Chains A and B, each alone.
Chain A
């Protein structure tokens, strides 16, 4: 009896305590739960895209890849992909160029005016996109809008803006640029101010021109910040919904029916969720591919800026 007890005690001593054994699991538990929280809706979305899930039907059933086949065979899907990519690319490119330019100007112009401008230029970011769009809608209105009055001076009357398919895309991009350029300015300005001073001082001594400095010093060292700004802006622009919806609800015709708007219309207006989800999954795929490429380039740029890689 005593011997048995002794051997038990011995094996207890060799055994790793329960609290130690579960520790690794406890440590990963929070991130595991968060990952599950993110992955469950995603997995459910994939499942629903394979069903005829609709608000109009009391139950739903598995229909295979029917929704996907329908979507791929629908001309409006390819139109939506084109609109999303076009909108995302053009608005991001303009915002990046404008944001970079303004940030450099503000950085060089280090005086009282630049301090005031820095505050003022951020204002559009503080307004909800829907509100900003409504303000723009009024400004562009052909009877009461201030922009119309300005154009009248140059002999342009009744410019259609969002009311015609030919100019609708330009109009929503204009509003997007107005709202979001401030975001790029903020990020680039922060990047500019964190650059080391010594390379610039050396260049000054060697008599490098402003253009030489910009191309060979500022830009390479700023690249990591630029890629971060590009990443955030491009991802958001591809998903843009609020501006287009508030301005034209996707019209005229299908001219602004991006993937987000098409999915919303199919899901919430037409109550066909199963058919709407593939559109969102395709959008996710496009964003995912784009984001991965940008992140890879950002990493490379970071190494280059740190002098680790040529």
Chain B
């Protein structure tokens, strides 16, 4: 009896696991651009007839459909949520909307997308993440919709700021710059990484707002414990993930003239141990050790913003939005005291104001390649990236850092951000020098995590005798991580 049971158990286990594995490996490959195009063209025929007949864009074409949207909790997402009922009223498309905190948003999204179940139709993403998702075939190329009858003439693709819309295009070849290839997502808002400072604290201590890297270091050191234990000069991120590298560090790294990767003999080769990269990192370690939070290595953007708002940090170098939201009336202790600087440039490395570079971040909307309701999903995307919606959210809902030229140039928008000293000037200036300075490649999360860990070791331990030694080791690790990528 025992033997029989054991046999049965083993048999069932084997059958189940084989069935399970079989099912998993038979997961259909995500739809490619070609097949989707076909689908779109076919379904767009009645649309053209309808619009030809009425002469107007047919917003009701997908009346009665239902789509699912997953967003990260953010000001941009809040604005969308507020207008959901208006969208449903206009189009007849029902939206199942859910959002979750940024901390674990991408992990949740990874699981949903990888199941290829099409459980989510539209989701929020960033440019870096879209490199990984597009490579995995999770993203629907949007050119299939942009120039078709499914797009309202009022939507205006050309109105997007070129640097921002281009950041979401890529040809899927590792090492190739963004800006060509398919359009993988549409921008909701973007962020440049600039210096925000508390003008009151700086004035009280007789310090001028720093313009150069040297002035920043001096100011940050001078402001150490400016108001007792735990207060400090400059808030920057320090957790062991990509979030630590992409804002201030990458902006200064690029301003200094350093590169993350270069293509050599058809391979991506890490350049984090180049003389510029090492000089910049030496500066950075000094800046963090002597001018940043005592518990820097546990700091994400929330803690940086909170310290700035509480008056514990005199300056912050992070996303402009982070400083902006601490400055709106009633939002923090120090609201109203913030002013905005630019990107501090290293004169010691011969750089001038013209060399300022800000690494940018784009919160964007993308479509799941496995979605079964792509047309309805596209209606959602175009509605919530339209000039009309973006002007409303920019002016009324504090969705600053607009990706649309028409909104940026609108007097109502300029007036709405006028309360933040230097913000409009900084944003308009830096946006001309802002781009994604990372090399597009599908191992972005891994390479930047290793990078952030190296910075943590440099700041908090004596593990390495020099920055050069640490960066040499990091280079070897990064080279190993991307070793299987073939660059054409």
Contacts and interface: CB of A to CB of B under 8 A. Distances in A.
B312 A164 contact: no
A254 to B, nearest CB: 6
A157 B24 contact: no
Given A55-B110, A58-B30, A253 B463 contact: yes
Given A57-B136, A58-B137, A160-B460, A44 B110 contact: no
B293 interface: yes
A163 B294 contact: yes
B445 interface: yes
B64 interface: no
Given A32-B5, A164-B297, A254-B453, A143 B231 contact: yes
Given A55-B136, A59-B27, A252-B460, A142 B230 contact: yes
B483 interface: no
Contacts of B14: 43
Nearest to A43: B17
A165 B452 CA distance: 14
Given A40-B20, A271-B132, A158 B442 contact: no
B1 A24 contact: yes
Interface in B432-488: 442-443, 445-446, 449, 452-454, 456-457, 459-461, 463
Contacts of B17: 40, 43-44, 47
A251 B136 contact: no
Interface of A: 24, 28, 32, 35-36, 39-40, 43-44, 47, 53, 55-61, 137, 140-145, 148, 152, 157-158, 160-166, 247-254, 265, 268-271
16 contacts: A36-B13, A47-B21, A58-B136, A140-B295, A142-B295, A144-B310, A148-B230, A157-B229, A158-B230, A164-B460, A252-B297, A253-B240, A253-B456, A253-B461, A254-B453, A268-B107
B295 A265 contact: no
Interface in B126-147: 132, 135-137
A108 B117 CA distance: 60
A249 B240 contact: yes
B349 interface: no
Nearest to B229: A157
Nearest to B28: A58
B25 interface: yes
Given A55-B113, A271-B114, A252 B20 contact: no
Interface string B409-453: 000000000000000000000000000000000110110010011
Contacts of A143: 229-232, 293, 307, 310, 312
A251 B29 contact: no
Contacts of B29: 58-59
B156 to A, nearest CB: 34
Contact of B25 (A55, A59, A251, A265): A59
Contacts of A253: 240, 453-454, 456-457, 460-461, 463
Given A143-B230, A251-B298, 11 more contacts: A55-B136, A137-B298, A143-B232, A157-B229, A161-B295, A163-B297, A163-B298, A163-B460, A252-B456, A268-B110, A271-B114
B53 interface: no
A28 B12 CA distance: 15
A144 B312 contact: yes
Q: Which 8 A-B pairs have the closest CB atoms?
A: A143-B230, A55-B114, A251-B240, A163-B295, A252-B456, A252-B297, A142-B230, A158-B294
B8 interface: yes
A184 B446 CA distance: 39
A269 B5 contact: no
A128 to B, nearest CB: 15
Contacts of B214: none
A28 B457 CA distance: 56
A36 B16 contact: yes
B461 A164 contact: yes
A141 B299 CA distance: 11
A43 to B, nearest CB: 4
B372 interface: no
B12 A142 contact: no
A212 to B, nearest CB: 49
A253 B462 CA distance: 12
A24 B230 CA distance: 70
Give the residue among A28, A163, A270 with the most B Cβ atoms within 10 A: A163
A250 to B, nearest CB: 6
B9 interface: yes
B313 to A, nearest CB: 9
Given A58-B136, A144-B312, A252-B457, A43 B13 contact: yes
B9 A36 contact: yes
Interface string B1-12: 100010011001
A60 B241 CA distance: 27
B159 to A, nearest CB: 33
B456 A251 contact: yes
Give the residue among A143, A165, A265 with the most B Cβ atoms within 10 A: A143
A141 B132 contact: no
A163 B132 contact: no
Nearest to A264: B107
A144 to B, nearest CB: 7
Give the residue among A148, A160, A248, A249 with the most B Cβ atoms within 10 A: A249
B261 to A, nearest CB: 18
Contact of B132 (A44, A56, A254): A56
B449 A265 contact: yes
A106 to B, nearest CB: 35
B354 interface: no
Contacts of A164: 297, 460-461
Contacts of A269: 106-107, 110, 241, 445, 449
A249 B30 contact: no
Interface in B16-39: 16-17, 20-21, 24-25, 27, 29-30
Contact of B446 (A24, A28, A60, A270): A270
B203 interface: no
Nearest to B454: A253
A92 B240 CA distance: 27
Contacts of B8: 32
Interface in B215-256: 229-232, 238-241
Contact of B24 (A60, A141, A250): A60
A246 to B, nearest CB: 9
Contact of A142 (B294, B446, B449, B456): B294
A140 B110 CA distance: 33
A250 B452 CA distance: 12
A140 B463 CA distance: 25
Nearest to A32: B9
Contacts of B452: 251
Contacts of B463: 253
Nearest to A145: B230
A147 B46 CA distance: 68
B104 to A, nearest CB: 9
Contacts of A250: 240
